[in-house]
Amino acid sequence: MIEKYEAAGRIAFEVLQEGKRLAKPGLPLLELAEKLESLIREKGAKPAFPVNLSLNDIAAHYTPEFQDKAVIGEKDLLKIDVGAQVDGFIGDTAATVDFSGENGKLVEASQSALEAAISSIRAGAKTGDIGAAVDSTMKSLGFRPIENLTGHSLAQYELHAGIEIPNIRTPHSRELKEGDVIAVEPFATSGAGRVGEGTKVEIYSLLSQRPVRGREARRLLSHVSANYRTLPFAERWLYPHFSSKLLLHAALRELVLSESLRQYPVLREVKGGLVSQAELTVVVEKDSARILTK
């Protein structure tokens, strides 16, 4: 099992480095996402979720839509979040690229908080203490952690497997065990320290296979179950398999209303503050955390 996490982690790390190399002002986000997702497949894994390319005050859940025309701007702050899976075992990693050259301290805040969090992880560590390390590190650098986003444990075909790693001091805490696999994911902001859901949704995942009436909805449910299981997928991934955009949208709507699918709305900082992100996947060992996404 750990060998598959290591394989997925290595591929996710390599693809993230390629994303940082390829990303530049003027590059379409759709082109970058598709190149990175193809590279994951070429390396022998599958995407664990659509590549997230979140700009500026967007913290998470932005993946380009079908025929998206958005491009990277000259002064954009870009978060690249990459997940690879091998037989359902996931490597999840992210980094922030500052094209303006003006937000180095903000990028440093999330990276330094990530390092502080990982240095505090070991068997028996409390998740609240890890959150405190993130919180104090960011605030010492003049920024706020995003309090309603967390790191998360991973399991086979489960991106969020039950344990949350907070980015703030919290009285609610769980004890980590040797062998737990955790995606540690601090978000730093110059804003209020919270995100809210927008109206744009391009990412979904399977919740349950409930009975649905529509033929296209049934076909879509079968396709999702067979190809993605419970891992997140992008709407744009579905277009090659459905001839009609209208029918696809109707099927997605029916599956959401029936609670067969979960939606992942784009998350923005509530006061419009810029957001940086850093993320690595680790396995908890007796006296430390071993990084898998490297």
Per-residue pLDDT reduced to its tens digit, 105-161: 999 999 999 999 999 999 999 999 999 999 999 999 999 999 999 999 999 999 999
What's the DSSP call for residue 279?
B
92 part of the active site: yes
Confidence band, pLDDT 50/70/90 cuts, at residue 15: very high
**Structure token digits, residue 213:** 């009436």
Per-residue pLDDT reduced to its tens digit, 185-228: 999 999 999 999 999 999 999 999 999 999 999 999 999 999 99
Q: How far apart are CA 63 and CA 47, in angstroms?
A: 13
152 part of the active site: yes
185 part of the active site: yes
Choice among 34, 129, 160, 223 that is catalytic:
160
Choice among 14, 37, 57, 81 that is catalytic:
81
Choice among 14, 37, 135, 185 that is catalytic:
185
**Structure token digits, residue 278:** 């850093």
Sorted by where each begins, the domain ranges of the chain are 2-197+271-291, 198-266
198-266: CATH topology is: Arc Repressor Mutant, subunit A (1.10.10)
57 part of the active site: no
129 part of the active site: no
For range 29-58, the mean pLDDT = 98
Choice among 6, 37, 76, 92 that is catalytic:
92
Architecture in CATH for domain 2-197+271-291: Alpha-Beta Complex (3.90)
164 part of the active site: no
Judge whether residue 171 has pLDDT over 90: no
- As beta bridge partners, residue 97 has 78
> For residue 260, what are the contacts with CB-CB under 8 A and spacing of at least 6?
206, 207, 208, 209, 210, 212, 221
